[in-house]
Amino acid sequence: MQIKVSDNIGFCFGVKHAVELSEEALSKKNGKIYSMGPIIHNPQVVKELSDKGLTPVEDIDGIKEGTVVVSSHGAGAKLKKKKGIKLIDATCPFVKKIQERVDRLYKDGYSVIIIGKKAHPEVKALTDFTDGRAIVVKDAGEARELELNGSKVGIVSQSTYSQDTFLEIVSILLNMPFSEIRVFNTICRDTIKRQGSVRILARDVDMMIVVGGKNSSNTRRLVEVCKDENRDVYHIENEEEIDRSWFSGKESVGIASGTSTPGWVVQDIIDQIGRYN
């Protein structure tokens, strides 16, 4: 069995940044340490940090003391420092730039459109910078239903969203009668590179395995990209989910990972597949 590994495996810069800040806070052993939601969308890493003392919480209302680490997805503009609590901002630097862009657009009187998924924590935080008034559009169908005639519109994207979907939606919005439209492609470079790499790899192998959290938006998107090019695609979180029968009659397998998947998890999977040879 030939194993081909996609480019850009392992953590992206923003995820690495968030994990390192969390590890640093834990190493100081200075009281209880919390994270605003899962620090990243990877169950192995979240468990590893949890075992060391990092406790995910949905909000800080019930916390009276300790340290709160803001996840890589960011937090809303209304998150304020609270007496007795130390805040550590582990927001991905790229996401922070999107927050600044949305904040500026809203203050300048633009109707903000965010291309992404409403339930994603990054999008929720971005929406908060518009006092909840941003319009979230997930696909072309929703874009066609918009009625903002005459408005000044500013468009951004969830950083981990599909480049193809972003361009499709923008092309629809550009044909609407807005008085002014400003478009910012805020999909992170790492996400774009990974989507391009897996598309090429999926065409060149008999099957694909995409490694990453089932709750990871960018990992699920990689799965979708692979399925556009290959019938046999499996999304797994660890080597225990591998089924040997998948490889029957196959000569090659491609391995890809989401931005929040640690390199050691990918290596464990490669090692497991290698044992079947």
Question: Is residue 158 within 8 Å of residue 116, measured between CB atoms?
Answer: yes
At 162, phi and psi to the nearest 5? -70, 130
Residue 122 a catalytic site member: yes
Q: What residues contact 155, with CB distance under 8 A and at least 6 apart?
A: 112, 113, 114, 115, 170, 173, 181, 182, 183, 184
Question: Is residue 266 within 8 Å of residue 9, measured between CB atoms?
Answer: yes
Among residues 122, 168, 240, 241, the one annotated as catalytic is: 122
Question: Is residue 98 within 8 Å of residue 159, measured between CB atoms?
Answer: yes
**DSSP assignment letter at 134:** P
Q: What residues contact 52, with CB distance under 8 A and at least 6 apart?
A: 23, 26
Question: Is residue 254 within 8 Å of residue 233, measured between CB atoms?
Answer: no
Distance between CA atoms of residues 113 and 110, nearest Å: 9
Residues with catalytic annotation?
122
